[in-house]
């Protein structure tokens, strides 16, 4: 006598469908992780560039300490690039142009109080999922007490 097990027919097909469903969820999860990693990598690259540009202005001011101490490098976020011929004005114009070209909606400000330089770099991070306005503020001493 031959016994047939009708209850087990089609069981292999259900296992395959469930495993494909689990595999699909895993692949979607990996794609989501990859997209998130790319977004965070872009944000980190922009923030590194902002850091570099802030240090660039500090170095320019240290190279021209006399003009920096007289306030020649002071500028606000909303002001445009100066068009003068002095070294300080040329430095500011190059820096403002670099901010605008290397950062999304990049702008910057510089202030000097009691030999402490405060450099603010601002940009827009909304296109990569960040906040619309980001700022990096860098403070440093311009020179030693007797410079």
Predicted local distance difference test score (pLDDT) of residue 141? 92
Cite the DSSP H helix spans in the chain. Answer: 11-63, 65-69, 87-102
Please check whether residue 95 lies inside any domain of the structure: yes
Please check whether residue 7 lies inside any domain of the structure: no
By CB atoms closer than 10 A (0-12, 13-18, 19+), residue 2 is exposed
Predicted local distance difference test score (pLDDT) of residue 55? 96
Please check whether residue 32 lies inside any domain of the structure: yes
Please check whether residue 8 lies inside any domain of the structure: no
Predicted local distance difference test score (pLDDT) of residue 19? 92
Predicted local distance difference test score (pLDDT) of residue 7? 57
Please check whether residue 57 lies inside any domain of the structure: yes
CB-CB neighbours of 142 under 10 Å: 17
Please check whether residue 54 lies inside any domain of the structure: yes
Domain tally for the chain? 1
Predicted local distance difference test score (pLDDT) of residue 128? 73
Domain that holds residue 70: 13-141
> What pLDDT, in 10s, does the model give residues 67-107?
999 999 999 998 888 888 899 999 999 999 999 999 999 99
Low-confidence ranges of the chain (pLDDT < 50): none
Please check whether residue 75 lies inside any domain of the structure: yes
């Amino acid at each position: 006598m031959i016994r047939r097990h009708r209850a087990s027919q089609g069981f292999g097909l259900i296992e395959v469908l469930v495993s494909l469903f689990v595999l699909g969820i895993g692949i979607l999860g990996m794609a989501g992780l990859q997209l998130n990693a790319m977004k965070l990598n872009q944000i980190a690259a922009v923030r590194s560039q902002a850091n570099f540009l802030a240090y660039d202005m500090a170095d320019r001011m240290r190279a021209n300490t006399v003009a920096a101490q007289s306030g020649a490098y002071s500028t606000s976020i909303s002001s445009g690039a100066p068009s003068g011929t002095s070294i300080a004005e040329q430095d500011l114009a190059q820096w403002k142009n670099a901010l605008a070209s290397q950062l999304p909606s990049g702008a910057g400000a510089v202030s000097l109080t009691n030999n402490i330089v405060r450099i603010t770099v601002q940009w827009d991070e909304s296109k990569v999922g960040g906040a619309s306005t980001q700022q990096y503020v860098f403070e440093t001493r311009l020179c030693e007490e007797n410079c």
